[in-house]
Structure 1
Amino acid sequence: MLIAFAVGGETPDNDDSTAQIVSFWQEDDSQQVVAGWVLGVAALLLVWFGGSLRRAISRAEGGDGRLAAISFAGSVIASVGILLFGSLTFAAATLADEVPAEVIHTISALNNTLFFPLSGGAALLLLASGLAFVYTAVLPRWLGWIAIVIGVLILTPLGFFALLAWLLWIAVVSVLLFRRGPDTGAAHPR
């Protein structure tokens, strides 16, 4: 996702003129198509991460694995949110020369504001995972508390910054899960 943000840059504001918005999508179309594609790949990787995390939490949780299931559902919902952003980015970039300007303005506005699937899914993933870490110590409890804080903040006006913290959290958890190994919880042999 960070690569997509770096490639795509800042999109126009909703209150910019329609001409400015269309001009942005026409001039930066190649970068935006790449950003949309990268977001699609990021969404798929998030589901893979969610599956790996679900497995670890489910084993530690035992029983019906409710927190593991909720965490995985959050990764799927957040992935759908990322796919929406990628699709809207791709649509605005590829259609800027083909449809009326008002359509591009609308797609751009949706691209700027359709964040509930991403933030809601991320919050579910973080809150369920955080609770699982705290209750089971499948991963460090402090990492669980951090997840809970980020999960709450992602639903507030600080959501963008919490989203960045969420990406860092995913990186840390990914490394820890990899080091634990797939079956025994032991570190990978060197």
Structure 2
Amino acid sequence: MDNTRLDRTGGSAGIAFVIATVVAALLTGKPPGPEASNQAVQRFFIDHHNQVVLQGWLYALATGLVIWFAVAVRRLLHTASAGRHLGDLFFVGTVAVAALSFVSMSIRIVAAGAAHELSASAVRAVGADFSLVLLALCGFIVALAATGYVGCVFSQAVLPRWTGWLAVIAAVVNVVGTFSVFLGGGPFSIEGGWGTLLPVAATGVWYLGTSVSLYRAHQTATRDPAG
């Protein structure tokens, strides 16, 4: 596959990844908050079984899309003066987060299927809290991937530098989001919503901006072959 096709398909995969994750996130509606009882969480998984399964399936699909996106971005990052290692750092970090998300969603599907047989506390711990904690702690890996990306984009504009600033914002928000594991309640706790929503949103905006820039990279190269 030539570089132009890889840029276009990688950019398209990144855009499709963002769309798939947004649709998946909206499928189940607002989950029970930190003040909800274990029984309420169990009832949520029972009542939304089909939506949780479809949500997990979409996230699994998104995993494949984001890996293809990461392959295309890595190719461009390897052309930067910062060298090959920072591009690999972005790639490995992105794939690691995608793989952990895949595992998290698989466990949620299993928990939803067995929610009527498990205890309410088990459903909450395995189906809800585990996936949320995993997502929060992935913030460190996202920040590491963003560091590799920023190192390449700022040293040599292989992609627009404003996407590098999106990566910086995503890194900061994701690291701050990891502190949600220390909060037992409130809107920024694990189950509060904002502690996970903001890091995911910041990462999604970064990926979307990069995907659009990647898709347009071949057009820029065509207009300015010397560049």
TM-score of the two chains, using structure 2 as the length reference: 0.73
Q: Would you say the 8 A contact 1:96–1:104 is kept in 2?
A: yes
Change (3 A) 1:116 1:109: closer
Structure 1 CA distance for aligned equivalents of residues 143 and 222 of structure 2? 29
Change (3 A) 1:159 1:133: farther
Which range is displaced more, 119-128 or 27-36?
A: 119-128
Specify which of 62, 73, 95 is matched with residue 76 of structure 1.
95
Shift of 1:103: 2.3
| Corresponding residue number in structure 1 for 2:50 | 30
Structure 2 CA distance for aligned equivalents of residues 121 and 115 of structure 1? 10
Secondary structure of residue in 1 paired with 2:26 = helix
Specify which of 56, 81, 90 is matched with residue 109 of structure 2.
90
Number of residue pairs matched by the alignment: 185
Shift of 1:62: 6.9
Q: Would you say the 8 A contact 1:134–1:142 is kept in 2?
A: no
Structure 2 CA distance for aligned equivalents of residues 187 and 90 of structure 1? 46
Matched, 1:171 2:208: yes
Structure 2 CA distance for aligned equivalents of residues 54 and 113 of structure 1? 28
Change (3 A) 1:152 1:35: same
CA RMSD of aligned residues (A): 2.3
Specify which of 160, 164, 186 is matched with residue 221 of structure 2.
186
Q: Would you say the 8 A contact 2:160–2:213 is kept in 1?
A: no
TM-score of the two chains, using structure 1 as the length reference: 0.85
| Corresponding residue number in structure 2 for 1:128 | 148
Structure 2 CA distance for aligned equivalents of residues 59 and 127 of structure 1? 16
Q: Would you say the 8 A contact 1:134–1:145 is kept in 2?
A: no
Specify which of 180, 191, 199 is matched with residue 162 of structure 1.
199
| Corresponding residue number in structure 1 for 2:7 | none
Structure 1 CA distance for aligned equivalents of residues 207 and 196 of structure 2? 16
Secondary structure of residue in 1 paired with 2:45 = helix
Q: Would you say the 8 A contact 2:52–2:108 is kept in 1?
A: yes
Higher relative contact order (CA 8 A, sep 6+): 2
Taking only the aligned residue pairs, the percentage that are identical comes to: 25
Q: Would you say the 8 A contact 1:26–1:97 is kept in 2?
A: yes
State the one-letter code of the partner of 1:164.
A
Q: Would you say the 8 A contact 1:4–1:38 is kept in 2?
A: yes
Gapped regions of structure 1 (runs ≥ 5): none
Secondary structure of residue in 2 paired with 1:60 = coil
Secondary structure of residue in 1 paired with 2:78 = helix
State the one-letter code of the partner of 1:48.
W
Gapped regions of structure 2 (runs ≥ 5): 1-20, 178-194
